[in-house]
C-alpha cells in the first residue's frame, strides 16, 4: 500500500480503503479507476485482484449497487451522489445508481416511540388517535408510519433512525480525509473535484438528517407549484414536526409505474405529464428551486374520488367560506401565499399527480437560472455552439482545455439529435452526454448542472411511463420561448423604457460637447500615439550584434582579397595579412559559439 496513504489514514480507516479499492477492482471499474489515476494515487496500481465472473456490464453495475448497500448508509448516499456524475462512472452504473435505495431492517417500535416522545414531548397515545405499528417504509436514515391525528386527518409520520448521525460521522471523516489526500497528492483529485463530491455528499446528508429542512422545502414547493391544479403537494403538520420527526398529510395513490391497463384506457395522462414538465421548468428557469430526485417512488397517481390532501386552490375555496386562519408562523405564511397564488381548478379535472419526499432539492442562483434557460433553449433547437458557449461561461477550465475542440465536440453531439424525432430526444440523457464531453475536454461544471441533468433524466422516465405518446421536448421548446418573451416584455416595461430613455437622454445631451472637444484637440494637434513594445531594447542589442558581425565579415573578406593580391609582389606583407585574417576569423567563430551557448542556457 502507498506510504502516503498509510500516513493519512488511521488503522480504523484501512478497512474502508480496502472497501473502496474492492468496489473498483471487483465490479468492472478497475480500468476506469486506473485511467483516472485513482488506483495509482492510493498505491494500488500494481495490485492485480481478479474480477468476479459476471456475464455483462449491467450485472457488474447491479453488483456494484448491492455492495454499496451492504457498506451502509454513507456509501448509499455516496452512490446517489455519484449517480449525478456521468463524468466519473459509465452509463450502466449511472442507471443502476439512479434507483439506489436502502435495504435495512425496521426500527424497533420501542425506539420509534422513544424518538417521537422525545421530540414532541408527549406519548404517542396522546398525540395520535391511531398509530400503525407496521411501517409503510424503512430506510437506513429513517422509517415511515401511517397515523391519524386527533382531529381525524390521515397523516404519515417519518421518524429518524436512532444513532444514525454517529454512524455516519466516522464514514464522513474517512471520505473527507481521502478526498483531501487525492486532491493534494494526485491529478485525479483536482480533475474530478473529489472534495466537491464530498461537499455535495455532506450537504445532502445534512439536509436529510434535519427534517425541519424537508418541512420547509415541502411548504415552499406547495407555494411555488400552486398554479398547477393537477399537482398535489401534502401539507406539513408543523405542530408535530421537529428535527427528527416529520408529519405530513397522507397521500393515497398509485405509483406511476403501477398504474393498471384499465386506468390507462379510462384516463388521459398526457395533461398531467405536461403539467409536471412545466412545473419543473418553472422551478429551473424562474424559481431556481427544484426537486432533484423525481423517481417513481416519489410520484403517485391520484385517481378521482379518493380522499387526499387538498390543494392550495381547494384550501382557498374553503377559506372563502369562512375557514381562513391567520398566519402565525413562517410556514403558515407560505401556505397563505400558496392559496393566494393558486390557479382555479379546471372543470372536468380527473387524474392528478402527487409529489412527496422533498429531502433532496437544488437551488440555482440568478446567473445559473439564466444559463439553464439558455441551455434548454439551445438543446431544444439543436444549437450545439450555443450549448458549448453557455457551458464555457459557467464552467471552470482545467488543464489543457481546448475551447475550439470542445465546441466542435458538443456541436457534433447535439447534431446527432437532428435526425431524431422530438419524441426520441431525451433532454436529460443529452445533457448527461454533454457533461461527459465537458469532463473529457477539461471543463469542470458546477454541481448544479449534474443535478439538473439528473432531474431532467428522471423526469423523462416518469413522463414516458405516464404517457408514452407525450413529447417533453415540445414542452421545453414552448416553455423556454414563453420565458424568453416574458423577459423581453419585462425589459420593455414602461419603467425599463423610461430608465433607458433617461440614460439615452444624458448621453445625447453630453454628445455635442464631447464631439466639440475631440475636434478641437484634432485641430490643435493634441493627439499623440504611444507604442510600447517591451522586446525593442533586446531587439536593438541583437541587431547591433548582427551589424558588428557583418562589418567584421566584410573587413575579413577585404583583408583576404588584399593579402592575395599582395602575395606575388610582396610575399612577407601578403603572408602577414593572411595571418591577421586567420586570427580575426578564429575570434569571430569563438565569439559566435560562446554567445549561442549562453543563449541556449538562458
501-532 burial: b if 16+ Cβ within 10 Å, else e: eeeeeeeeeeeeeeeeeeeeeeeeeeeeeeee
Q: What is the pLDDT, as a whole number, of residue 494?
A: 65
**Do 356 and 422 share a domain, yes or no?**
no
Q: What is the pLDDT, as a whole number, of residue 439?
A: 82
**Do 368 and 512 share a domain, yes or no?**
no
> Is it the case that residue 143 has pLDDT exceeding 90?
yes
Domain-located, residue 21: no
Number of Cβ within a 10 Å radius of residue 469? 9
State which of 57-71, 96-110, 509-523 shows the largest mean pLDDT.
57-71
Tell me which of 492 and 116 has the higher pLDDT: 116
Domain-located, residue 346: yes
Stretch 512-527: mean pLDDT, rounded?
A: 73
**Do 450 and 496 share a domain, yes or no?**
no
List the grid coordinates of 289. Answer: 428551486
Q: What is the pLDDT, as a whole number, of residue 4?
A: 40
Tell me which of 387 and 529 has the higher pLDDT: 387
Q: What is the pLDDT, as a whole number, of residue 321?
A: 58
pLDDT one-digit tens code per residue, 335-387: 889 988 888 887 778 899 999 999 888 899 989 999 999 999 998 888 999 99
**Do 411 and 380 share a domain, yes or no?**
yes
Give the global pTM. 0.73
Query: Distance from CA of residue 577 to its chain's centroid?
Result: 81
Beta strand 352-355 pairing with 443-444: unpaired
pLDDT one-digit tens code per residue, 19-54: 777 777 777 776 666 555 555 555 555 555 444 444
pLDDT one-digit tens code per residue, 407-424: 999 999 988 877 666 666
Domain-located, residue 67: no
Q: What is the pLDDT, as a whole number, of residue 317?
A: 76
What is the pLDDT confidence band of residue 214, given thresholds at 50, 70 and 90? very high
Tell me which of 536 and 256 has the higher pLDDT: 256
Domain-located, residue 301: yes
CB 107 within 8 A of CB 143: yes
Share of the chain above pLDDT 70, in %: 74
pLDDT one-digit tens code per residue, 7-26: 455 556 666 767 777 777 77
**Do 504 and 563 share a domain, yes or no?**
no
**Do 274 and 377 share a domain, yes or no?**
no
Q: What is the pLDDT, as a whole number, of residue 569?
A: 64
What is the pLDDT confidence band of residue 538, given thresholds at 50, 70 and 90? low
Tell me which of 453 and 529 has the higher pLDDT: 453
Q: What is the pLDDT, as a whole number, of residue 40?
A: 56
Number of domains in the chain: 4
**Do 399 and 352 share a domain, yes or no?**
no
Tell me which of 58 and 511 has the higher pLDDT: 58
Nearest to 80 by CA among 233, 295, 369: 295
**Do 520 and 543 share a domain, yes or no?**
no
Domain-located, residue 290: yes
**Do 274 and 373 share a domain, yes or no?**
no
pLDDT one-digit tens code per residue, 299-346: 999 998 888 888 888 888 777 655 555 667 888 889 889 988 888 887
Mean pLDDT, the chain, whole residue set: 80
Domain span at residue 591 reads 537-601
Stretch 127-141: mean pLDDT, rounded?
A: 91
> Is it the case that residue 118 has pLDDT exceeding 90?
yes
Stretch 439-445: mean pLDDT, rounded?
A: 85
pLDDT one-digit tens code per residue, 552-590: 667 767 766 776 666 666 767 767 777 777 777 777 767
Domain-located, residue 41: no
CA angle 121, 124, 128 (to 5 degrees): 110
| Residues whose CB falls within 8 Å of the CB of residue 16, separated by 6 or more in sequence, listed in order | 171, 174
Q: What is the pLDDT, as a whole number, of residue 54?
A: 44
> Is it the case that residue 540 has pLDDT exceeding 80?
no
| Three-state DSSP class for residue 148 | strand
| Three-state DSSP class for residue 230 | coil
Q: What is the pLDDT, as a whole number, of residue 380?
A: 84
Domain-located, residue 46: no
pLDDT one-digit tens code per residue, 68-86: 888 878 788 788 777 777 6
Q: What is the pLDDT, as a whole number, of residue 50?
A: 46
> Is it the case that residue 463 has pLDDT exceeding 50?
yes
Q: How far is CA 174 from CA 20, 26, 33, 430, in A?
A: 11, 21, 19, 34
Where does residue 322 fall: left (phi above 0), alpha (psi -120 to 50 degrees), or beta otherwise? left
What is the pLDDT confidence band of residue 144, given thresholds at 50, 70 and 90? very high
**Do 447 and 578 share a domain, yes or no?**
no
Q: What is the pLDDT, as a whole number, of residue 506?
A: 64
Going 89 to 91 to 92 to 94, the CA torsion angle's sign is: positive
Stretch 123-139: mean pLDDT, rounded?
A: 93
What is the pLDDT confidence band of residue 239, given thresholds at 50, 70 and 90? very high
**Do 413 and 482 share a domain, yes or no?**
yes
Q: What is the pLDDT, as a whole number, of residue 179?
A: 79
Q: What is the pLDDT, as a whole number, of residue 20?
A: 73
CB 322 within 8 A of CB 228: no
> Is it the case that residue 445 has pLDDT exceeding 70?
yes
| Residues whose CB falls within 8 Å of the CB of residue 394, separated by 6 or more in sequence, listed in order | 367, 368, 371, 445, 446, 449
**Do 242 and 127 share a domain, yes or no?**
yes
Tell me which of 400 and 237 has the higher pLDDT: 237
pLDDT one-digit tens code per residue, 84-104: 776 677 778 887 887 776 656
Nearest to 401 by CA among 191, 197, 195: 191
Domain-located, residue 394: yes
Amino acid at each position: 500500500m502507498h506510504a502516503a496513504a498509510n500516513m493519512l489514514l488511521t488503522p480504523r480507516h484501512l478497512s474502508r480503503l480496502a472497501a473502496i479499492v474492492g468496489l473498483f477492482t471487483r465490479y468492472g471499474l478497475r480500468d476506469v479507476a486506473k485511467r483516472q489515476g485513482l488506483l495509482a494515487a492510493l498505491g494500488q496500481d500494481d495490485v492485480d485482484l481478479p474480477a468476479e465472473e459476471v456475464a455483462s456490464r449491467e450485472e457488474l453495475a447491479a453488483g456494484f449497487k448491492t455492495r454499496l448497500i451492504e457498506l451502509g448508509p454513507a456509501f448509499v448516499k455516496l452512490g446517489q451522489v455519484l449517480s449525478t456524475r456521468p463524468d466519473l462512472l459509465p452509463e450502466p452504473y449511472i442507471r443502476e445508481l439512479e434507483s439506489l435505495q436502502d435495504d435495512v431492517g425496521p426500527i424497533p417500535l420501542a425506539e420509534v416511540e422513544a424518538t417521537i416522545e422525545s421530540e414532541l414531548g408527549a406519548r404517542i397515545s396522546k398525540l395520535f388517535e391511531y398509530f400503525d405499528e407496521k411501517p409503510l417504509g424503512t430506510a437506513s436514515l429513517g422509517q415511515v408510519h401511517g397515523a391519524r391525528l386527533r382531529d381525524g386527518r390521515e397523516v404519515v409520520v417519518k421518524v429518524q433512525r436512532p444513532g444514525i448521525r454517529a454512524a455516519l460521522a466516522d464514514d464522513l471523516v474517512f471520505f473527507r480525509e481521502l478526498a483531501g489526500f487525492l486532491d493534494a497528492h494526485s491529478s485525479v483529485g483536482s480533475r474530478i473535484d473529489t472534495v466537491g463530491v464530498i461537499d455535495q455528499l455532506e450537504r445532502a446528508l445534512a439536509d436529510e438528517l434535519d427534517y425541519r429542512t424537508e418541512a420547509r422545502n415541502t411548504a415552499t414547493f406547495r407555494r411555488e407549484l400552486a398554479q398547477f391544479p393537477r399537482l398535489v403537494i401534502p401539507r406539513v403538520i408543523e405542530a408535530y414536526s421537529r428535527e427528527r420527526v416529520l408529519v405530513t398529510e397522507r397521500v393515497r395513490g398509485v405509483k406511476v409505474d403501477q398504474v393498471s391497463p384499465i386506468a390507462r384506457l379510462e384516463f388521459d395522462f398526457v395533461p398531467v405529464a405536461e403539467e409536471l414538465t412545466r412545473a419543473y421548468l418553472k422551478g429551473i428557469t424562474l424559481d431556481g428551486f427544484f426537486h432533484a430526485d423525481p423517481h417513481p417512488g416519489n410520484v403517485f397517481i391520484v385517481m378521482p374520488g379518493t380522499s387526499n390532501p387538498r390543494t392550495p386552490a381547494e384550501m382557498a375555496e374553503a377559506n372563502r367560506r369562512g375557514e381562513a386562519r391567520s398566519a402565525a408562523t413562517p410556514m403558515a405564511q407560505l401556505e397563505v401565499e400558496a392559496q393566494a397564488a393558486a390557479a382555479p381548478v379546471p372543470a372536468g379535472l380527473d387524474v392528478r399527480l402527487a409529489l412527496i419526499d422533498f429531502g433532496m432539492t437544488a437551488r440555482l442562483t440568478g446567473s445559473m437560472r439564466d444559463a439553464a434557460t439558455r441551455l434548454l433553449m439551445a438543446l431544444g433547437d439543436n444549437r450545439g455552439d450555443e450549448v458549448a458557449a453557455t457551458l464555457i461561461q459557467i464552467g471552470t477550465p482545467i488543464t489543457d482545455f481546448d475551447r475550439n475542440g470542445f465546441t466542435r465536440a458538443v456541436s457534433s453531439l447535439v447534431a446527432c439529435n437532428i435526425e431524431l424525432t422530438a419524441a426520441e430526444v431525451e433532454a436529460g440523457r443529452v445533457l448527461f452526454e454533454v457533461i461527459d464531453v465537458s469532463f473529457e475536454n477539461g471543463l469542470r461544471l458546477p454541481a448544479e448542472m449534474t443535478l439538473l441533468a439528473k432531474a431532467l433524466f428522471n423526469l423523462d422516465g416518469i413522463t414516458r411511463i405516464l404517457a408514452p405518446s407525450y413529447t417533453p421536448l415540445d414542452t421545453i421548446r414552448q416553455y423556454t420561448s414563453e420565458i424568453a418573451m416574458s423577459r423581453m416584455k419585462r425589459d420593455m416595461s414602461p419603467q425599463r423604457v423610461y430608465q433607458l430613455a433617461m440614460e439615452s437622454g444624458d448621453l445625447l445631451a453630453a454628445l455635442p460637447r464631447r464631439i466639440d472637444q475631440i475636434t478641437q484637440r484634432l485641430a490643435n494637434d493634441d493627439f499623440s500615439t504611444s507604442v510600447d513594445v517591451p522586446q525593442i531594447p533586446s531587439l536593438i542589442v541583437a541587431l547591433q550584434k548582427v551589424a558588428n558581425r557583418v562589418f567584421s565579415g566584410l573587413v575579413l573578406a577585404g583583408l583576404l582579397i588584399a593579402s592575395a593580391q599582395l602575395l606575388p609582389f610582396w610575399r612577407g606583407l601578403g603572408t602577414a595579412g593572411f595571418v591577421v585574417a586567420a586570427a580575426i576569423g578564429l575570434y569571430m567563430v569563438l565569439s559566435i559559439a560562446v554567445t549561442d551557448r549562453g543563449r541556449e542556457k538562458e
